[in-house]
Structure 1
Amino acid sequence: MLELEVVKEELKRLGIVVVIPTYNNEKTLKRVLDGVLQYTSAVIVVNDGATDSTSAILATYVDRIDVVTFEQNKGKGMALRIGLQRAKSLGFSYALTIDSDGQHYPQDIPKFVAELANATAPVLLIGSRNMTHDSVPKKSSFGNRFSNFWFWFETGVKLTDTQSGFRAYPLHAISKRFYTRKFEFEIEIIVRAAWRGVVVKNIPIQVLYDPEERVSHFRPFKDFTRISVLNTVLVFLTFFYILPRNFFRSFKKKSFTDFVKENILGRTDSPVKKALSIGLGVFMGIAPVWGFQTAITITLAVFFRLNKVLAFAFSNISFAPFIPLIIYASLLVGGLVYPSSATALRIEGMSLDTIKSHLSQYIVGSIILATVMALLFGFVSYLFMKFNRQRSVSAN
């Protein structure tokens, strides 16, 4: 742990300001402020329309802190947004946020400072609380696990705590505009930071949940609904924008030779990984997702860390000359398990109207056909690559 004077100097050198959003936390606000002021006088407090004695408490610190006051409560997310904007406008590089409800210990500030002092690139730090502590409410522990899962799903980054409000934000690396205003803002900002390439990581901190002092403004139904809606949007963006974007960015960064070696020949890829990639491509090429095949294929390949180019190449099995044949085969297979009473099928007459009149039959058949062909192509390619690799080893 850094000594107090060293921490003070590092806070100034690194350009760190402490931002404290507060709403009706009169029992704990003074204790938090006094603890923070031991380390720095660079403090911004956002009074989110408090109706208790918060204004009177802040008035006693008038010459020591910067206060932003809302006439009406706007939500924690909006308080943080304004606080971060204020910090950036004042020329700070990092904003260290801490809740005013007393659950965080200002004594953990040196941990953030030490981590930021050693950082070689912009990093967003989130204090990781011991959620198994007896004082932690079960609903908070569950909510944190729920949030951790979705953050991993949307970014591929595993964290132990994504809901802690004790954080360090790199002000010049995070997004400039945000869309959420309540508790869900703290999810939006870390997901979008990860999407921008900012390192998001946890550091261990202490936590205290005192039921007699702590006032929580989290509304289980409304705020959980907001968070669920946000995660739905973020998952959609992950699959249809972020992962395909990352794939094409990686393509641009490599020379054509390196790209072919890594993604097509895949020297480091095992035969199993290549076979799975080919199977995925074949499945998506036949499955009834016309118009979305490329986006979904690349997204799934990136998400499951498969060979993206192999998957993309084999998803084009449904190129123009083969489309009527694939539709016809799908309808025939579908007819075995889901027969239709519509008119008889002929390959030369395949059209959109044919699919419409045999829609259920086509969907069922295409999924079965896609699965069978994916398994067949994957298995055959695996045997071929396994044999080819063994022969290369024998030759050497």
Structure 2
Amino acid sequence: MDLSLVTSKMQQLQCCVVVATYNNEKTLAQVLDGILVYTNAVILVNDGSQDGTSEILQHYPQITQIQLPRNKGKGYALKKGFKKAVSLGFAYAITLDTDGQHFPEDIPLFVAALEASETPEVLIIGDRNMNTADVLARSAKGNRVSGYWVRSVTGLTLNDTQSGFRLYPIKAMQKIVFFWSTRKFEFETEAIVKSHWRGIKIVNIPIQILYPKDRVSHFRPFMDIARIVVLIIWFLIVRGLYIIPRDFLRNLKKKGFKRFFVEDFLKNGDSPKKKALSIALGVFLGLSPLWGFHTVIVIFLAILLKLNKVIAFAFSNISLPPFIPFVLLMSIRTGDLVLGKNSSLSMEELKDFNAIQQLESYFVGSIVLSVSCAVIFGLLGYLLLKIAQPKNIVAHG
């Protein structure tokens, strides 16, 4: 793309560059000079640098500068920069690191990708091709770990989740509430997950990468990865308790039961075997004595076992409130049968949760009932799905 065309496109798209820097005096000027070739719409956040950064920035009066008195972290600095950019009327912000690993010459790639996107609400992440010899082994390993966990909470398969060279749809992201505590590198993971949950498209595009000898990195492998892991654990809980049930109900309401059943159940690309196992898992957990934890556990196990989360969640709702008395009664009667007892509780008494008086019968019966029903529903589901499987659908899994 022609240089003048890139500059013009960035203006039309209301796109700026936001840079967070901390003690990168050896590479900062080179990075800024490279950015200014394409645009003067640059917002730099000096995150409490203690080296010669302030002196270098005196030579760049044309860029908007935010000076933080002390180091707060990359995430904090980026959020400050985004807030400033939105206040100046920008809708998009390209970010890149100032340690010399990114090439400002790749800025046109992000502009072109934004123009070609099917939706204006897209977060574009530079793919550093982590399998190349020029990439540090530590960075490649960290990226694989991050990619796995991001996939576990979003379902997205991204080649690079840790790259700092990105294009953020900052105007669309104003609706997202980010944690005040994500002040460091974990913010970039939070941005991916919450943007995806908000309906923003996430894509990778290939970029160049270089790790110069004088590069100064502030990534602390143990502490920063630990912060990301804690964040991901929280996201797993939120996904299980809220995101998947929310999306399930939205789809069901939008399509109606018949269309939802056909499109999301019958025509889903998973094999009848995987669907049947998902049904069995949902029924098993729905009937098991795990009141209050069904949703979290079924989603966690569906992810762990690589089963269909929507189907597993749907069938775990066999224990919805209206069905609870019936489930309790069946569990106690099954337990009585196994233990040779004879409980006298009626359906009316079960509505008051008097099943607790028959704890032994209930516990044994619920296990037997959940296992038996899981096997029965799973086998029936497999047979029906095998018969009803559309011939033009190639199942996988």
Contact 1:243–1:299 (Cα < 8 Å) also in 2: no
Deviation, 1:136, is: 2.2
CA RMSD in angstroms, aligned pairs only = 3.0
Contact 1:154–1:191 (Cα < 8 Å) also in 2: yes
Q: Distance in 1 between matches of 2:267 and 2:170?
A: 40
Deviation, 1:189, is: 1.0
Segment drifting more, 37-46 vs 3-12: 3-12
Structure 1 stretches of 5 or more lacking a match?
336-343, 391-396
Among candidates 68, 83, 104, match of residue 66 of structure 2: 68
How many residues of Structure 1 are paired with residues of Structure 2 in the alignment?
373
Q: Distance in 2 between matches of 1:324 and 1:294?
A: 22
SS of equivalent residue, structure 1 residue 153 = helix
The answer to whether the aligner puts 1:103 opposite 2:101 as a matched pair is: yes
Question: Counterparts in 2 of 1:48-197, with a 5 A limit?
Answer: 48-62=47-61, 64-121=62-119, 122-174=121-173, 175-179=175-179, 180-197=182-199
Letter in 1 for 2:344: E
Taking a change above 3 Å as real, the CA distance of residues 140 and 261 of structure 1, as seen in their structure-2 partners, is closer
Letter in 2 for 1:254: K
Offset from partner CA, 1:141-171 (integer Å, 9 cap, x none): 1110011011111111110000000000001
Deviation, 1:68, is: 0.4
Deviation, 1:110, is: 0.8
Contact 1:17–1:94 (Cα < 8 Å) also in 2: yes
Deviation, 1:251, is: 1.8
Deviation, 1:282, is: 2.2
Matching residue of 2:221: 220
Q: Distance in 2 between matches of 1:347 and 1:367?
A: 17
Deviation, 1:278, is: 3.7
Contact 1:32–1:100 (Cα < 8 Å) also in 2: yes
Deviation, 1:383, is: 3.5
Contact 1:152–1:158 (Cα < 8 Å) also in 2: yes
The answer to whether the aligner puts 1:311 opposite 2:278 as a matched pair is: no
Offset from partner CA, 1:22-81 (integer Å, 9 cap, x none): 00000000000010011111111100000000000000111x211100011111110000
Q: Distance in 2 between matches of 1:389 and 1:244?
A: 25
Letter in 2 for 1:218: F
SS of equivalent residue, structure 1 residue 103 = coil
Contact 2:101–2:211 (Cα < 8 Å) also in 1: yes
Deviation, 1:389, is: 8.1
Matching residue of 1:282: 283
Q: Distance in 2 between matches of 1:248 and 1:300?
A: 20
Q: Distance in 2 between matches of 1:382 and 1:169?
A: 44
Q: Distance in 1 between matches of 2:389 and 2:231?
A: 47
Deviation, 1:115, is: 0.5
Deviation, 1:387, is: 6.2
Among candidates 329, 334, 345, match of residue 334 of structure 2: 329
SS of equivalent residue, structure 1 residue 347 = coil
Taking a change above 3 Å as real, the CA distance of residues 374 and 256 of structure 1, as seen in their structure-2 partners, is closer
Deviation, 1:258, is: 2.8
Offset from partner CA, 1:350-396 (integer Å, 9 cap, x none): 731442xx49x937x74465234311232134335656889xxxxxx
Offset from partner CA, 1:262-288 (integer Å, 9 cap, x none): 468x46687546644542332122212
Matching residue of 2:356: 352
Segment drifting more, 154-163 vs 125-134: 125-134
Offset from partner CA, 1:186-243 (integer Å, 9 cap, x none): 1111110000010001000011112x31111112222222111111111111111111
Contact 1:77–1:186 (Cα < 8 Å) also in 2: yes
Q: Distance in 1 between matches of 2:72 and 2:189?
A: 17
Taking a change above 3 Å as real, the CA distance of residues 387 and 38 of structure 1, as seen in their structure-2 partners, is closer
Deviation, 1:300, is: 7.0
Contact 1:99–1:165 (Cα < 8 Å) also in 2: yes
Q: With the length of structure 2 as denominator, give the TM-score of the two structures.
A: 0.84
Taking a change above 3 Å as real, the CA distance of residues 368 and 69 of structure 1, as seen in their structure-2 partners, is farther
Taking a change above 3 Å as real, the CA distance of residues 280 and 30 of structure 1, as seen in their structure-2 partners, is same
